[in-house]
Amino acid sequence: MKFADLGLSDELLGAIIAKGYDTPTPIQAQAIPSVLMMKDLIAIAQTGTGKTASFVLPMIDILAHGRRRAMMPRSLILEPTRELAAQVAENFEAYGKNHDLKMALLIGGVQMGDQVKALNEGVDVLIATPGRLMDLFERGKILLTGCDLLVIDEADRMLDMGFIPDIETICSKLPANRQTLLFSATMPPPIKKLADKFLSNPKYIEVARPASTNTQIAQFKVPVASSRVKRDVLRQLLTSDDVATAMIFCNRKTTVRELNKSLQRHGFASAEIHGDMDQPQRLAELQRFKDGAVNILVCSDVAARGLDIKGVSHVFNFDTPWHPDDYVHRVGRTGRAGATGRAFTLIAPEDAEAIENVEKLTGSKLPVFEVEKGGAKADKPERDEKPARGRREEKPERAAKPEREERAPRQDRPKRDGTKPPKAESRGKARRDEDEGDEPGVWNGPVPSFLGISAL
């Protein structure tokens, strides 16, 4: 099947061909015709299968007919993170270049003035994160009554980030007869409940089993003795496994910062992305990684969902994710668009429960990868114990130091003419005793006057 068989317009097909695509992915082949027929849709597909284009392409053709009005967007796309929202905006710019459509991006971390100005001029496509959208709505800067098409992307991530109440509020402000598209990699019960409440007779598409991982990715777990040696093992993997470009995921923002600094100290070209960085800085670091200025990106889970970065050869889980679903998305940053990839998860003893939950979710045991040099250096605490036992056995011999005792009388040797006396404290005291004629233990300082008063 080709894109030309899906019912898309000639202008849109020209933009698709210009991007170098000809054949749709399975999720695109099944979703695009349903969206064009104005049906509600639930699409479950593992990350990296082309979900974004499966709703961006038909939306462009649908919105080609109609006019925009001030403060009233014609369609709304909800994304959990700023990076995903920016990526969807890039897709609209690329595929919609032959259409007269205006787009606005509502995300946090940037000034609100330009966003309000764009809304006042009227937009066809509004791409937003729930927090910034709710903020502008409460300020009266936006009206949702003219929105006829809603897309909820990465719905399971929305659940993890606590956005479900905001999404329910947003849905209640939209027209009742709208078209709603829900895309997700997994379908936990709260998302199923959300779909039942706000979707009308949706078509259900499932390209891959929920919570499954890409078979094109070779996945391993790497046991380490403790969390303290993870950095040593990671550096060994980075230098020995033919890493072209890599993304390293950590659970905490502080770990991201510290690990990035450590890698840079050891000569690696690395950058970092986490939630404490402002949006321009995050986008700049991400662009450096895409352009090849750095080949290692240390990140938190803000980069785990949906980011389409070509050529990522490796993914490393420095920390085992707390939520098993996040493992699927982290690993999905490699092996995209039919390419192969490799993923390693460092497992310390305290990560045992987390990796068991991951293996339970994915339905398979991860093979163990042994690190020869790095693992040997990191996993040998017993090397510190063997010398300790040896030192305890040798203590009686080392305690006896006859040669030093024989040298002790050298301190009492008479001074030679023209030489300075030794500076050691014991030698200085002996010299003072000889010069001043004092007997050892006898007070040689001033005598207080009261000591001369005799008792009556």
Q: Domains of the chain, with CATH numbers?
A: 3-206 (3.40.50.300), 217-382 (3.40.50.300)
Among the listed residues 296, 245, 252, the one whose alpha carbon sits nearest the alpha carbon of residue 272 = 296
DSSP state of 4: G
Among the listed residues 88, 64, 69, 97, the one whose alpha carbon sits nearest the alpha carbon of residue 151 = 88
Contact 220, 343 (CB under 8 A): yes
How far apart (Å, rounded) are the C-alpha atoms in residues 16 and 310? Answer: 17
State how far the alpha carbon of 255 is from the alpha carbons of 68, 233, 298, 346, in Å. Answer: 46, 16, 9, 14
* Residue 455 burial (C-beta neighbours within 10 Å; 0-12, 13-18, 19+): exposed
Could you give phi then psi for residue 134, rounded to 5 degrees? -65, -35
Beta strands in 224-340 (DSSP E): 246-249, 270-273, 296-299, 314-317
Close Cβ partners of 139 (under 8 Å, ≥ 6 residues apart):
none
Predicted local distance difference test score (pLDDT) of residue 397: 44
Predicted local distance difference test score (pLDDT) of residue 213: 59
H runs (alpha helix) in 51-177: 51-63, 82-95, 112-121, 130-138, 155-160, 164-173
Among the listed residues 335, 332, 301, the one whose alpha carbon sits nearest the alpha carbon of residue 318 = 301
**112-121 helix and 130-138 helix, angle to the nearest 10 degrees:** 70
CA angle 203, 207, 211 (to 5 degrees): 110
Predicted local distance difference test score (pLDDT) of residue 339: 76
How far apart (Å, rounded) are the C-alpha atoms in residues 382 and 206? Answer: 51
Predicted local distance difference test score (pLDDT) of residue 209: 52
Task: Determine how β-strand 314-317 pairs with β-strand 341-347.
Answer: parallel
User: How many CB atoms neighbour CB 380 within 10 A?
Assistant: 13
Decide: helix, strand or coil at residue 143.
coil
How far apart (Å, rounded) are the C-alpha atoms in residues 436 and 438? Answer: 6
Decide: helix, strand or coil at residue 44.
strand
In the chain the first and final C-alpha atoms are separated, in Å, by 126
Mean pLDDT in runs of 10 for the chain (456 residues)?
90 90 90 94 81 93 90 94 87 91 88 89 94 91 93 87 90 93 87 91 80 74 91 93 91 92 94 85 87 92 70 92 83 77 93 90 86 47 39 43 46 49 46 43 57 54
User: How many CB atoms neighbour CB 187 within 10 A?
Assistant: 18
Whether the predicted model's global pTM rises above the 0.75 cut: no
State how far the alpha carbon of 261 is from the alpha carbons of 45, 130, 359, in Å. Answer: 36, 33, 31
